[in-house]
Amino acid sequence: MGGTTGMGLSAALSLTRQGARVVVTGRNVDSCRMAEDQLSDRGLVLSLDATMPDSAREAIEACELKWGSLHGLYHVAGGSGRRYGDGPVDALTLEGWETTFELNLTSLMLSNQAAIRSFQKQGKGGAILNMGSVLGYAPSPRYFATHAYAAAKSAVIGFSKSLASYYARDNIRINVLAPGLVETPMAQRAAKDDQIQKFIRTKQPLDGGRIGQPQDLDGAVSFLLSDQSAFITGQVLTVDGGWCVSEGQY
């Protein structure tokens, strides 16, 4: 869910180059059209809102109809609640809190639920990879003080680990990918801020110090959705250019 731009689209293109067939979803019609052009006949693109209760089920049913079965789910859909009032908790609005959780956690619950039901019906197991964030456990208070977002991404980890424990008996694997700052449509505030980019050069010092690019995550996605990680579940893989082990200089 959430594969028509940014990290989701990059992963979908990478997976199709390796022979996979994918279904990607997005809310923006123009983004859906552009993704459809890039994915060609190895991808099915659906205009769906991941926060709506039936969207994930519709996407999975379309996958089963088009490709025969579902083998893996990569949930990328989410977003910033900053414009709704997310921020430091003393200034946080109830709308900011609720909208941020709807975008980043409720949508994820719905897609995971639909995928698990599909895997159970197929009886062959499957893999789920959920999008987290380093902000769920490694805060950076000066430039990234959105406390509802941090709480939601932390909850993604707890939710995913709980599912991984429960559904391991069905050979369903659930893991989390936690990126640092990556240049996506959601990250444009930070990507265009010179002060933040100066900070990121020391906070994410790998490869000369830079903001991440969507393709930096593609290898991890392929690994965690493939049989190469068949004995891995309940784990958080951080892809952050060194964020979690670097102080960052102001």
Residue for token pair 């975008």: 103
User: Which pTM value belongs to this model?
Assistant: 0.96
Which pLDDT belongs to residue 47?
93
For the chain, the first-to-last Cα distance in angstroms comes to 36
Distance CA(184)–CA(90), nearest Å, equals 28
Which pLDDT belongs to residue 73?
98
Which pLDDT belongs to residue 8?
93
Can you give the residue ranges of every domain in the chain? 74-245
Q: Which residues of the chain have pLDDT under 50?
A: none
Asked if 185 contacts 5 with a C-beta cutoff of 8 angstroms, the reply is yes
Which pLDDT belongs to residue 41?
87
Asked if 210 contacts 182 with a C-beta cutoff of 8 angstroms, the reply is no
| Helix, strand, or coil (residue 177) | strand
Helix or strand run (H / E) with residue 22: strand 22-26
Summarised one tens digit per residue, pLDDT across range 177-192 is 999 999 988 788 888 9
Distance CA(98)–CA(70), nearest Å, equals 31
Asked if 2 contacts 25 with a C-beta cutoff of 8 angstroms, the reply is yes
Which pLDDT belongs to residue 191?
87
Residues in the chain: 250
List the catalytic residue out of 149, 166, 167, 250: 149
Let me know if 149 is a catalytic residue: yes
Asked if 46 contacts 24 with a C-beta cutoff of 8 angstroms, the reply is yes
CATH number of 74-245: 3.40.50.720
Which pLDDT belongs to residue 30?
87
Q: Which of 172, 179, 218 is nearest to 73 (CA)?
A: 172
Structure tokens at 227: 């049989």
Half-sphere exposure of 247 (CA within 13 A, CB side): 2
Q: Look at phi and psi of residue 50 and say left if phi exceeds 0, alpha if psi is from -120 to 50, else beta.
A: alpha
**In sequence order, what DSSP letters do the residues of 184-250 get, joined into one string?**
SGGGHHHHT-HHHHHHHHHHS-GGGS--B-GGGGHHHHHHHHSGGGTT--S-EEEESTTGGG-----
Helix or strand run (H / E) with residue 74: strand 72-75
What's 68's DSSP letter? S
